[in-house]
Structure 1
Amino acid sequence: MQSVLWGVAVLACPVGMGLMMWLMMRGQRKGPEEDASQEQVAQLRAEVEQLKSERAKGAR
């Protein structure tokens, strides 16, 4: 019984560290939603630039 407890105690640290690493890596993955939002931001910036140039032409 005591050897089983020692085995569990010895394996607890590496298993816990592996689990934490896996959870941290899982949180850093970029999903398709994030790629889509970045594309939308780029489109909106292009639209803002277009509107600025149209306003500058109209002010002349």
Structure 2
Amino acid sequence: MQQLLLGVAVLACPIGMGLMMWMMMRGGQNKGADDASEQQQLRQLREEINALKADRVERQGS
């Protein structure tokens, strides 16, 4: 019984690390959808920045 517990204790770390690595790799599969969303948000922010710059130039010219 004591040897069984020792064996479980010795294997707990590598099995846990392997499980964590597997879970992290699975989480990266949905990244494509996130990239598209981030690209759209980035495009919107750039458009907003350009609109604000144009407004600032217009105010300074007046």
**TM-score, structure 1 length as denominator?**
0.56
Distance 1:12 1:57, change over 3 A: same
How far apart are the structure 2 equivalents of 1:24 and 1:41? 25
Aligned residues: 55
Gaps of 5+ in 1: none
Gaps of 5+ in 2: none
Look up the match of 2:8.
9
Q: What percentage of residue pairs aligned between the two structures are identical?
A: 31
Look up the match of 2:58.
58
Distance 1:22 1:56, change over 3 A: same
> What one-letter code is carried by the residue in structure 2 that aligns with 1:33?
A
The two structures, once aligned, show a CA RMSD in angstroms of 2.8
